[in-house]
Structure 1
Amino acid sequence: PNPHRRLTLLVYLDRFEELGAFVAEIASLGPSAMEAVDGESLRLLPRDALGVPESAGAMLLVEFDEGDMDGIAKAVVERIAPRFRLSRGVEVADDPERQAILWKVRRSLLPTISQRPGLRKAWGFVEDPIVPRDRVPEFIAFLVDLARRHDTVAGIYGHIGDGNTHYRPLFDPTDPIDFERMRALRTEFDDAVLERFRGAPSAEHGIGRIRAETLPRIWGPAVYDIMRRIKRALDPGGLLNPGVLLSDEPWWATWGGLEARSPM
């Protein structure tokens, strides 16, 4: 059933480094949703039109749909928020129209970066990683630095409450130099997600073609071999979804649309 009441809180932090501690405090109150956007990504948005403070290093949008709503709001505003450096006071909304406005910043990020002018587009080749929840702020900081070191920027936003992050670096794959940056970023990304952060490259969007080459590392050689043998037994001619899920091709070789600059 739909909840009888929802409570939405919008928080802008001056320091991205404080996001993890703030999230830990909020998580103890039992939110139904927690969405975060890093400061670099906020700079890709029309701040004035969306009311984003200039000093914001991170945005956190939190929603509750059960419990003592008034008590929760009071705890956040009076007990938790004063211990952090906020870009402005916590906004608390329980009116559906105002709540929709608060969600607008989070929901406008992908459409905004996807429609940015220029040849560099927001490609989804590292789009959907998931890591342990307590490491999400550290992971987002890594993603910011990863884009910077590969000479680009990225839209980064995530379901910080369940460890899932969306990462959209801007590249032009028809430029040979940019394409090499793209490939190098992907290699470093895969290594970090799987080894440093003990996560997985896909939380919501499946494996398909673009993540197929990572499966032996995710499942392990023994399980991967069993899956391939099952596939060969049921589809000896390789007619069913060739190249999907089980493939030796590099991610970029089988990605339709890559040459057309039409991000997926």
Structure 2
Amino acid sequence: MTPSQSTLERLAAVVGEAHAIRDPAQMDRYMREWRQIWVGRSPLVLRPQSTTEVSRILAIASETRTAIVPQSGNTGLCGGQIPDESGREVVLSLERMNRILDVDPANNTMTVEAGVILHDVQQAAAAADRLFPLSLASEGSCRIGGNLASNAGGLNVIAYGNARDLCLGLEVVLADGRVWNGLSRLRKDNTGYDLRNLFIGAEGSLGIITAAVLKLFPQPRSRETAFIALPSPHAAIELLSLMRDMSGNRIVAFELIAALALDFAVRHADVRRPLGPAPWYVLAELADPVPGAMLQLLEEAMSRGLASDAVVAQSENQRSEFWAARELISESQKPEGGSIKHDVSVPVSRVPEFLAAADAAVLSLMPGARFVSFGHLGDGNIHYNISQPVGMDRDHFLARWNEVNDVVFEVVARFGGSISAEHGIGRLKAHRMPAIKDPVALDLMRQLKSALDPHTILNPGRVLPL
């Protein structure tokens, strides 16, 4: 339903005119996302500063059947945070709700509002000699509400888990404006259903997260980081197992990088190449290892033929250079033309088979396609990105997006995987949900949506198709 002028005035009055944006130029940054796939329209952007204001906004929205699109840092890659092109959806930005409410080192928890930037959470934890391990390439701009709403993953899932595993409690505003205060700092509470996990990963479609209690961990006293050349993904799987066994399972990161992915980063992102040419690389990191553990591991790996070369960071600066080579891969694809990206997961042991089968399937559809595969091998999450063939027209390549997706997702399903590992569903994949979800699971999801958002005002058409 298109909101009336009266409704828009009531909504704006909640936050005040200074924080109710109507000017198209000022609204522009809320209307588009990093990849420029979606550019939406909205009659109003609201920037509340408190849970009370969010509650009042949703109460009015429920009464008037006004669609609300929650937005945190606007770093999502599936379009879930961008309004559609109808001009009927109101954007609710949580960027002003950016307070760190409490840090409790003894309990290893931190309570924050949803608009706190991830890097600020990391810094606040470090100031208390603690670690908040969620780490993403966008951590300087993404915000905790969005991280939880999409159940973000990142670099350290192998050791600490996804965003869901790093959260103890939530505060959530429901579609009718009621506030659920679930900001528990308890690690054990068996008093009924775990409501928290309904909202984590729901992309704002069941309620709007306004605050969270996060888990903290001891700060590692030392790290050993290595950039390793390998002959194949099969060797990487064996290396992962060897590292787990020999390090006492102290692996906190294990990133697989295809040769072309590193080539792009070196070519376009001012990255220094850590090692000479090889088919594949792994960036691995141990936390609090026995001194010299990484070197011992690498010697054993080379004796088994799992690695052909390696370098261990000798300083924090060198460690940062290694990580820059990994984190700048996505950005470095842009100068190479169009890129069709996939955030998929398969069982860890099946990653090599998946890569071989997916490459073959895509090449049969599009000869000359270039594979920029990289990601979190330790948890089976591969960013299976395909750059356009050299010389192909970019628009022609991107016009085949759905064809390529169909081919890749068929291979993902064949290997028992998921078409969304850590980026969410959003607008990009909502239409695929009926085909990929168990019918009973899909029915339960629809029932939950109907119960919590009976008028379908919260992020309509995201996660579940309309």
Instruction: Confirm or deny a common fold (TM above 0.5).
Output: yes
Native 8 Å contact 2:275 2:311 kept in 1: no
CA drift of 1:148 comes to 3.1
- For residues 1-264 of structure 1, the aligned pairs below 5 Å read 1-28=218-245, 29=247, 30=249, 31-46=251-266, 50-51=272-273, 53=275, 55-70=277-292, 72-84=293-305, 86-88=307-309, 90-114=310-334, 116-117=335-336, 120-124=337-341, 126=342, 128-149=343-364, 150-151=366-367, 152-171=369-388, 174-175=395-396, 179-180=399-400, 182-194=401-413, 196-247=414-465
User: Does the aligned pair in 1 maintain the 2:255–2:377 contact within 8 Å?
Assistant: yes
Aligned mates of 1:145, 1:156 — CA distance in 2: 14
- In 1, Cα distance between equivalents of 2:255 and 2:375: 6
- Contact persistence 1:216–1:224 (CA under 8 A): yes
Structure 1 distance, partners of 2:254, 2:412, is 21
1:60-79: CA deviation from partner (whole Å, max 9, x where unpaired) = 11100023132x22422322
- CA–CA separation in structure 2 for the residues paired with 1:74 and 1:49: 24
5+ residue gaps, structure 1, are 249-264
TM-score, length basis structure 2: 0.46
User: Do the aligned partners of residues 203 and 40 (structure 1) sit closer, same or farther apart at CA in structure 2, a change above 3 Å counting?
Assistant: same
User: What amino acid is aligned across from residue 69 of structure 1 in structure 2?
Assistant: P
Tell me, yes or no, if the aligned pair for 2:224 and 2:287 is still in contact at 8 Å.
Answer: yes
Higher share in strand: 2
Alpha-carbon distance change, 183 to 129 in structure 1, aligned in 2, over 3 angstroms: same
Within 1, Cα distance between the matches of 2:271 and 2:446?
Answer: 51
Q: Distance in 2 between matches of 1:148 and 1:22?
A: 28
1:236 Cα deviation after fit: 4.3
- Please give the secondary structure, in 1, of the residue aligned with 2:255: strand
Structure 1 pair 146–94 and aligned structure 2 pair: CA distance change class (3 A): farther
Q: Is the 8 A contact 2:262 2:326 kept in 1?
A: no
Give the count of matched residue pairs.
238
1:167-195 CA-to-partner distances (Å, cap 9, x unmatched) read 222356742x6523x2222112222212x
CA gap of 1:148–1:105, structure 2 versus 1, over 3 A, is farther
| Cα offsets for 1:21-72 (capped at 9, x unmatched) | 22332232321110111123334343696225553100111100023132x2
Give the residue type in structure 1 aligned to 2:355.
I
Normalised TM-score (structure 1): 0.78
Equivalent residue letter for 1:110: S
1:38 touches 1:156 (CA, 8 Å); kept in 2?
yes
Matched-pair identity in %: 28
In the alignment, is the contact (CA less than 8 A) between 1:36 and 1:159 conserved in 2? yes
8 A Cα contact 1:129 1:201, kept in partner: yes
Higher relative contact order, structure no. (Cα contacts within 8 Å, ≥ 6 residues apart): 1
Displacement, 1:137? 2.6
CA distance in 1, matches of 2:358, 2:291: 34
- 2:52 matched to which residue of 1? none
Please, which runs of 5 or more residues in structure 2 have no aligned partner? 1-217
Query: Following the alignment from structure 2 to structure 1, what is the Cα–Cα distance between the partners of residues 404 and 424?
Result: 20
Name the Cα RMSD after superposition.
2.7
